[in-house]
């Protein structure tokens, strides 16, 4: 009788220990999370930072990345990036291919809104689609000449638009953006390069003309002395 009672106590204590241990869940340094209850099928709105927490045996974390994540549209698949480059049209109707990459970070205090709106497993697919739409639309705001001559401005503008859109609709921020390459039709780029060469020749001719004027004026001054 005593042996049976001892066995029951041992089993009960062991079960309690197992249940207690299973009531904890942890988030690594690079993770943030939401507390999900399997019992009530509900999610706590308050997000959790990295650490080990007592949640209860029927609860577990829905985990998200805490660190910056990258999305890229690159034709060079050897780099192991998502690809391919984005294709759109400029304001004047020319086809343009953009190779871009950007880094996003989930906004901690909006983590529940992200989960409730976009879910957990496929939100990055939505992010990718959002980026494609925003960047393709931004391309149509400028003509091809502007793209060729003001790449830094275009990059800054695209970054701002993407960050604004993600903050409003994706519950994330875009701290970094890279406009890697802008591919315009070959005949257009050749024409632009030829125009630049002609402009350079004109600039050199003007400098030579100015130099001759200065030389002539100097000779006149010398003659008058």
In order of their start, the domains of the chain are 2-64 (no CATH), 69-184 (3.30.479.30)
CA nearest neighbour of 123 among 109, 101, 106: 106
How confident is the model at residue 224, as a pLDDT?
55
pLDDT > 70: percent of the chain: 67
- When mean pLDDT is compared over 50-64, 102-116, 144-158, the highest value belongs to 102-116
Give the integer Cα–Cα distance in Å for 104 and 35: 23
Angle at 74 between CA 71 and CA 77, to 5 degrees: 105
Give the integer Cα–Cα distance in Å for 50 and 32: 6
- pTM here? 0.74
User: Per the structure block, which two tokens stand in for 224?
Assistant: 């008058």
Residue 164 has pLDDT above 50, yes or no: yes
pLDDT > 90: percent of the chain: 39
- When mean pLDDT is compared over 53-57, 58-62, 121-125, 180-184, the highest value belongs to 121-125
The DSSP symbol for 82 reads -
How confident is the model at residue 109, as a pLDDT?
96
Give the integer Cα–Cα distance in Å for 137 and 130: 11
Give the integer Cα–Cα distance in Å for 124 and 211: 60
């Amino acid at each position: 009788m005593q042996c049976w009672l001892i066995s029951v106590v041992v089993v009960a204590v062991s079960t309690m220990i197992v249940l207690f241990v299973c009531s904890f869940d942890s988030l690594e340094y690079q993770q943030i999370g939401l507390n999900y209850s399997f019992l009530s099928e509900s999610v706590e709105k308050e997000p959790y930072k990295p650490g080990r927490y007592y949640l209860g045996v029927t609860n577990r974390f829905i985990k998200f990345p805490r660190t910056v994540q990258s999305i890229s549209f690159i034709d060079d698949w050897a780099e192991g990036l998502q690809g391919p480059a984005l294709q759109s049209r400029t304001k004047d109707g020319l086809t343009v291919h953009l190779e871009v990459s950007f880094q996003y970070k989930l906004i901690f205090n909006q983590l529940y809104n992200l989960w409730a709106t976009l879910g957990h497993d496929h939100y990055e697919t939505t992010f990718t689609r959002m980026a494609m739409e925003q960047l393709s639309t931004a391309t149509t705001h400028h003509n091809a000449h502007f793209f060729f001559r003001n790449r830094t401005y275009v990059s800054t503008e695209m970054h701002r638009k993407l960050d604004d859109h993600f903050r409003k609709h994706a519950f994330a921020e875009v701290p970094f953006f890279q406009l890697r390459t802008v591919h315009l039709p070959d005949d257009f780029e050749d024409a632009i390069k030829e125009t630049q060469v002609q402009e350079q020749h004109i600039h050199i001719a003007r400098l030579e003309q100015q130099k001759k004027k200065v030389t002539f004026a100097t000779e006149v001054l010398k003659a008058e002395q």
